[in-house]
Structure 1
Amino acid sequence: MMTSIKQIIRKPGKALIFFLLIIIVTVLLSFSTVSMLQTNQRIDTVEGQFSTIATVEQELRPGDAFLHADMLDFEGAEYVNPPETRPYYLARVPGVNNSGLHSHIESASVHIAEFTPVESGGYTEPVKMQIVKSYYDKYDHTKANWIGFGSQEKDLEAGDVAYFLQDYIKTPTSYEKGKTYIANFQYDDSVSQESGIPVYSVSGAPFTTQREGELGQKIESTVMPSQCRRFDEVTEDFWGPGGLGMIWTEWIEQLKLWDRNWLPVIPTNGVQLLPTFHSKNAYMDRGREITAEEFKKGSNVCMISDKIALNGIKVGDTINLPMYMAFYGFQPDRFYTFEFPFAYDFSPLNAEGEAYGPFWQKEYEVVGIYRQLTPGAGELYGEAVIIPSKSVTVSDENNIVYYAPMNSWSTSFQIPNGKISEFNTALHKAVPEASKLKIVYNDNGYEEVMASLYNARLSTALLLGASILAGLVVILLLLYFFVVKEKKRTAIERSLGMTKNQCRASILSGLMALAVPAVLLGGWISWGMMNIEAVPVQEGGHSEDNIETVSFSREYSLWAESESSVTDIGFEEVDIYFQMLSYFLVPLCIVLTVLLLTVFIVNRNLKIEPIILLGGRE
């Protein structure tokens, strides 16, 4: 071996050049190999972590009929999750305080009483009334509310006097002195005509908002007026069987029940179909998400908000959800509220004047607790409970209290990543009526990120290919100068009595003494480089001219904040074991290549008689 090393040292210039070249080739091969592994892992991770959804909105024009989400299901549509329209189900859960849904409960002013006019009138001017009998009083006793400060509002009693307004009634009617009326009214901060006498405005009376399931048409009641803002005359048979007073009694009972125990429930076929979860503005705080298998089977599992969990509910507990009312196309965070005594956007009475009973009731296991970056925002308004749609196995058609067109909160679907343009073209071709809808695609920047990663993979592949080619060239030149041109040396050694194996060892030992330290040093250098190298990834949006809207936003997302965010997971380093394996395998492959090619060339030389080799030219 020492003889072989001495032979290498006799050519110090060439030995140094090849030593450095082997180091460079090892660094390039290790760097490009690990980079390729990293890029492929990032691509696989992005494929698994990103999702593409589209929200659907129908901008209803006069004469238009309601369109349904299932119209978007056409032949050849490759949906990950097909279009769904999610209702809100309102469940009453005694013992569970939901302050997120009932932010106006304490400030709502609701009084129900019988009264008689002191004098006739009331079209436009306040009319002085005397309370005959009070049935219900609900108001903010602190008086620190939006209705007014320092008010004279109190529990009403027989004999109290107040002025009544009809400002909220579309078609005001007059009061007749001597008659008795009943109304639902609220305290008004208007200046009273007489000092010390409060002012009230007539508001909601018993009414119904019951809707027909398929077309969403309102079901007219035959037992009570359709107008919500009104007062009713108390006649002799008013409180008798079949009288309107029975409906007023039910109305009052529902007002008493309307406390902080109501929870909105969202049935869905996938968590990623919910825009707030898709945008990462909601995330799991404890437990886990409902799985795809649980959605498919309709398992009795649910996810609740961290605010609802403050009631002492933990992951693994069960919660009984009796669902009373269904809301389709409801957008509570914009102009509407679930607090019917506050805004009267819906009624808890059906067309028969009866309170809705639960159409579905089941025990659900809490598998996860979610948190929102902006509490109460989006479709999760009111600390909504999330359940699998298929877990509700009965129809809600007799309990629909609100029906509106599809909107971006209630209707969505999921398609494969990277298929926005292709899918949108196929959709409009197969479903012409889709042009009447506003479809907004959101891939959270998937196509921009993937374009960057594919470019990175192409660059890495080119670098890897160039590194392999450079490595082969360096190895071939190394063998040419230190093996091929050493064939006379092999002949001399054989003439001196060395065996073929000794001749092989003589050549190989010198080359290994040169190559092994070089590849080890190259592997160490590349490992150091990869540990300080940072690969920046641009953020960006995606849009197509022929698509209604394609967008994504990270402004309020968790991607820059959460350790489990998509961006962080997608671009983390390759597993350390794969890195170390690469730094070991690349030098090993170089050494094995040198070894095998050297043995091949030396074996060819050994087949030639020494006298022929000694007699030939260089």
Structure 2
Amino acid sequence: MRKEFGMLLFKNSMRQLFRMKGRAALFLLLLIFASGLCSIGREFLVTNQAKMEAYEDSFMTIGTVEQKADQVEERRIWDAEIKDYRIYNSSVYDSYVPLSVLDFEGADYLSGPERRCFYGSYMPEYEMYGLGMSLSEIVEGSPVEDAVPDHPIAFQVTRVLAGQGGIRDGHVISFCDHYNPKPEKLYADKTYVMSIAYRPGHEDQQEFEGDDVTEYIPYTVLESDQVDIDGNKVPDDVEEGHFCDEVTEGFYESDKGRRWLNVIASWDYLRHTFPVTGTDDINLLMPFYNGNAYISQGREFTAKEYANGDRVCLVSELFARRAGLAIGDELPLALRYANYRRTAGRAFATNSAAAFSLINAKGEIYPVFEEGNYEIVGVYGGQSGIRDDYGMGYNEIIIPSRSVKNSDADNILESGPMVGSNTSFRIANGTIDEYMEKWNKLQISNLEITFYDGGYSELEANINNMKYIARLLLVMGVIMVLMVLGYFSWLFILKQKERTAVERCLGFRKRHSFASLFSGIFLLILVGSVCGSVAGSYLSGEIEGKIAREDYYDKTFGNSVATDMGKTEAKSYEREEPLKTAAECALAIVAAGTVIAAAGIYVNLQKEPMKMLAGRTE
């Protein structure tokens, strides 16, 4: 009986609505449109927020720092081939800006800033495959005849003391003190020890003797490169450019002779010296940031290992394969020197190493200042050994910087200013402008900061624009929904006082009158909100798909570099549970409509039926 009565009330409510077909249809259409706006706005907000969260894990923002030169100095270097000076320009720095200037208030770094050096680790158990001073050698010999080597002269090699080039005992080579405008005369009846390096022969020689003509020139290794952290040269008794000494009886027992012996011994060390770079975050190394290097086996360092300075390391695939190393093995690192000027990528190529001396200002081989066994926790792959400031050095080993406990102050063989390849930091995505605003207040003009963010800034701007549009659509939709609900509630409910009064006079209870008035309007609200929300959700998906296909952002190594953009796109544009937002939006509109309609009906039901009829009659 109750069920039949309820159906009767519902039919009566619908009958009343059909008497106002035009108004009901207009209400339904307007509510569908308003619900669609709400759904589109809400869907855009949810989707763009999800995109930002997805991109947050796939992008990172790093900054590199480079000190500008204070002036450019002209250098004149003699060239024996052209019998004149060649002019070169070189950068001059009054002083090196310390890393501490980057530690300012409000600089919220995620890692860094760090100024990296690379260390030389002597490991006699392993060889730097492909390396060695293959184009330079230390020899004893005499000129074939007395001559001033201001041009190529014949030089008889009697003994090869160090090096792995093509010279053999007894060879006659072409020698020229190529870059010395006033070379000293060499005598055929004297024996000399000298360090020499290979270079192509003079053009006039090649013209008459063929393109394969070569000559050897001085290679200065007796002089120490040792400096302090500020780049000041540590005093050395050997004059600049010294490369040759006369060998007399007991020469190698003299201070100068023992220095030569140390240099000769150090060349064997070079064959077993590996570059080691310390860092607080491997993503601050540009090869790992831009994907040219990657972890292929094992794992990278953990935050705890970085913080504690645990003795763990990463090695290259090539080194691990040739040395028979695997994850969990230990490497006995013995650090002898530190280089703060070049990166390992610049200094160590596949078949040659940078030319710097391994002896200190005292004429001794640099002593070990840090040693210990490091566990291999990861193996990295990718390009290496291509002689690039921003590349990985051949057989380069990576360690946490805090694992080096002892000072390297007495073992620095090169130092230089901060440059982009060795000084970097990481900040939160989207905070470049905020960082630069604080940095500019310091007014430090001789440092240049370059940011790489994988296109995050452009992407963030696009998403923020979409968020603004989404909020605008959502606000417009909400306002329109409230206006539609309010106006038509007034038409359907408050304007039907006579109907309410008649039903009450016929014996309807308040709840029956409520059901009679509410059921029809509720059905319209339900249908309109659901249809509009679902349509809005579908339409927003189509719009976002079109935007995604047309969207563009920088994926190159320029202002920004992405870590794994292909995976990021696939993840970001996939909408999870697309109807969830539509359901939430429809539910909110139905709830709002229910409250507004119920409030209007409640106002009607509080009035006495006879008074409403009397008011209607009047």
Task: Classify the TM-score, shorter chain.
Answer: 0.7 to 0.9
2:542, 2:125 → 1: CA distance? 55
Considering fraction of residues, name the structure with more helix.
Answer: 2
1:73–1:58 distance in 2 versus 1, CA, 3 Å: same
Give the aligned residue type for 2:336. Y
Deviation at 1:133, TM superposition (A): 2.8
- The aligned counterpart of 1:358 is 368
Deviation at 1:277, TM superposition (A): 4.7
Please list, as runs of the form range in 1=range in 2, the aligned pairs for 1:471-550 lying within 5 A after superposition: 471-534=481-544, 535=547
Matched positions, count: 576
Q: Deviations over 1:369-425 (max 9, x none)?
A: 555589844433315433332221111112111122222222234556666566556
Please list, as runs of the form range in 1=range in 2, the aligned pairs for 1:595-614 lying within 5 A after superposition: 595-614=594-613
* Aligned residues: CA RMSD: 3.9
Matching of residue 86 in structure 1 with residue 101 in structure 2: no
Residues 453, 559 of structure 2: 8 Å contact kept: no
- The aligned counterpart of 1:548 is none
1:339–1:303 distance in 2 versus 1, CA, 3 Å: closer
Q: Secondary structure at the match of 1:616?
A: helix
1:97–1:161 distance in 2 versus 1, CA, 3 Å: closer
- Normalising by structure 2, we get a TM-score of 0.80
Identity %, equivalent residues: 26
1:358–1:532 distance in 2 versus 1, CA, 3 Å: farther
Residues 55, 441 of structure 1: 8 Å contact kept: no
1:385–1:235 distance in 2 versus 1, CA, 3 Å: same
Matching of residue 408 in structure 1 with residue 420 in structure 2: yes
Residues 296, 390 of structure 1: 8 Å contact kept: yes
- The aligned counterpart of 1:462 is 472
1:177–1:425 distance in 2 versus 1, CA, 3 Å: same
- The aligned counterpart of 2:178 is 167
Give the aligned residue type for 1:381. M
1:188–1:8 distance in 2 versus 1, CA, 3 Å: closer
Q: Deviations over 1:406-453 (max 9, x none)?
A: 2222223455666656655654654x6x32334445555554444433
- The aligned counterpart of 1:131 is 157
- The aligned counterpart of 1:562 is 565
Matching of residue 217 in structure 1 with residue 232 in structure 2: yes
Residues 78, 416 of structure 1: 8 Å contact kept: no
Q: Secondary structure at the match of 1:113?
A: strand
Residues 303, 368 of structure 1: 8 Å contact kept: yes
Q: Secondary structure at the match of 1:250?
A: helix
Q: Deviations over 1:470-524 (max 9, x none)?
A: 0111111232232223333233333333322222222222223322233222233
- The aligned counterpart of 1:239 is 252
2:244, 2:315 → 1: CA distance? 40
Q: Secondary structure at the match of 1:322?
A: strand
1:194, 1:29 → 2: CA distance? 86
Q: Secondary structure at the match of 1:138?
A: coil
2:171, 2:384 → 1: CA distance? 45
1:516–1:252 distance in 2 versus 1, CA, 3 Å: same
Deviation at 1:76, TM superposition (A): 3.0
1:368–1:503 distance in 2 versus 1, CA, 3 Å: farther
1:555–1:64 distance in 2 versus 1, CA, 3 Å: closer
1:73–1:187 distance in 2 versus 1, CA, 3 Å: closer
Tell me which of 41, 54, 67 is aligned to 2:96: 67
1:184, 1:94 → 2: CA distance? 24
1:429, 1:469 → 2: CA distance? 44
Matching of residue 586 in structure 1 with residue 599 in structure 2: no
Give the aligned residue type for 2:235. E
2:380, 2:559 → 1: CA distance? 16
- The aligned counterpart of 2:141 is 115
Tell me which of 149, 152, 156 is aligned to 2:168: 156
1:464–1:488 distance in 2 versus 1, CA, 3 Å: same
Q: Deviations over 1:321-376 (max 9, x none)?
A: 3322211122566xx63479967631111222222233222344455555558984
Give the aligned residue type for 1:134. V
- The aligned counterpart of 2:615 is 616
Give the aligned residue type for 1:33. R
Tell me which of 50, 66, 88 is aligned to 1:56: 66
1:424–1:489 distance in 2 versus 1, CA, 3 Å: closer
1:351–1:594 distance in 2 versus 1, CA, 3 Å: same
Matching of residue 184 in structure 1 with residue 199 in structure 2: no
Residues 304, 366 of structure 1: 8 Å contact kept: yes
Please list, as runs of the form range in 1=range in 2, the aligned pairs for 1:232-271 lying within 5 A after superposition: 232-240=245-253, 242-259=254-271, 262-271=273-282
- The aligned counterpart of 2:87 is none
Deviation at 1:33, TM superposition (A): 0.9
Structure 1 segments unaligned to the other structure (5+ residues): 140-152, 542-551
1:4, 1:340 → 2: CA distance? 87
Give the aligned residue type for 1:248. W
1:156, 1:367 → 2: CA distance? 44
Q: Secondary structure at the match of 1:510?
A: helix
Q: Secondary structure at the match of 2:277?
A: strand
Q: Deviations over 1:272-308 (max 9, x none)?
A: 5444555566555555554555433333344445555
- The aligned counterpart of 2:335 is 323
Give the aligned residue type for 2:593. V
